[in-house]
Amino acid sequence: MKTLLIIDVQNDFMPGGSLPVAEGDTIVPVINAMQPKFDLVVATQDWHPQDHISFASNHEGKSVFEEIELHGKSQTLWPDHCVQGTKGAEFHPDLDTTQWEAIFRKGTDKAIDSYSGFYDNGYLKSTGLAGYLREKGVSQLYLCGLAADICVYFSTYDAFKEGFACFFVEDASQALDQEVYKELRKEMEYLGIQMISSKDIQ
């Protein structure tokens, strides 16, 4: 079953949002156009409590984008974003959600961040996404969304480790940091993840 996983296409990651990805809104029509080509469409939604540990505002004396150590790992401190129940956490208003069968929320535990749609950053808790996809009989997984160098990358990496054949749809994704993305792209190609355009999808 050919499946599309749409990652975090939410208002706060759009131009004018609290954690904007440059030209993040340009991927919305691309995602809308390719959805009918898939048997199954699912999505992830960043869904943080206000007191989330990744927010710089919850660390006195710390600045946005500063790095701290958390659970033995490096943690970037972000501006408040995708707070549960806020406009910023909603999907882009032009994004077609009518074909979606499920939405998997992540980043819900205030004590740990969760870039991947499959696990938190410490691999302490699963979102249940891998099990859901297996039960649906998914073998090929196409991934896209925001941001290409963070949540889409980590979701793709985990999907690959879970044994899915992964296709990264580049024109339906945008990176927060283009230089970081260039390096991650090389890594994904090395692993055997297919880097494709939406036009390549039959």
List phi, psi (to 5°) of 166. Answer: -105, 135
Phi-psi region of 192 (alpha: psi -120 to 50; beta: other; left: phi over 0): left
- Beta strands 67-70 and 73-76 are antiparallel
pLDDT at residue 71 is higher than 90: no
pLDDT tens-place string over residues 56-69:
999 999 999 999 99
pLDDT tens-place string over residues 116-154:
999 999 999 999 999 999 999 999 999 999 999 999 999
Mean pLDDT of the chain: 96
Quote the tokens at residue 19: 């954690």
CATH topology of domain 2-200: Rossmann fold (3.40.50)
pLDDT at residue 73 is higher than 90: no
Give the start-to-end residue ranges of the domains of the chain: 2-200
d(CA 36, CA 153): 24
Burial grade of 196 (CB within 10 A; 0-12, 13-18, 19 or more): middle
Mean pLDDT of 81-92: 98
Residue linked to tokens 């890594």 = 187
pLDDT at residue 97 is higher than 90: yes
Q: What is the pLDDT of residue 72?
A: 85
Q: Which residues are catalytic?
A: 8, 106, 151
